[in-house]
């Protein structure tokens, strides 16, 4: 089986445990306002996210922190 997957580039962590990763935002030429708009689509704020990532295709993954 010679199956090749589609390469989607390296993913970037944009938020880790509610902390915005500004260096990574800069690497993808985006700012905090853009990030806030993207995370709002998941009905949350960046500080409420456990993790937010973006892949090479521009697809965003967002996971909310667990409630205590």
Distance between CA atoms of 28 and 44, rounded to whole angstroms? 22
Distance between CA atoms of 56 and 18, rounded to whole angstroms? 22
Full-prediction pTM beyond 0.85?
no
In the chain the first and final C-alpha atoms are separated, in Å, by 47
Q: 12-64 in CATH: which number?
A: 3.30.240.20
Query: Is the pLDDT at 49 greater than 80, yes or no?
Result: yes
Order across the sheet with 12-16: list the strands. Answer: 19-20, 12-16, 49-54, 60-64
Q: In which band, very low, low, confident or very high, does the pLDDT at 3 lie, cut at 50, 70 and 90?
A: confident
């Amino acid at each position: 089986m010679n199956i090749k997957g589609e390469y989607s580039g390296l993913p970037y962590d944009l938020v880790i445990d509610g902390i915005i990763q500004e260096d990574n935002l800069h690497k993808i030429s985006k700012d905090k306002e853009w990030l806030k708009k993207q995370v709002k689509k998941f009905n949350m704020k960046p500080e409420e996210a456990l993790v937010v990532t973006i892949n090479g295709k521009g697809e965003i993954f967002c996971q909310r922190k667990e409630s205590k």
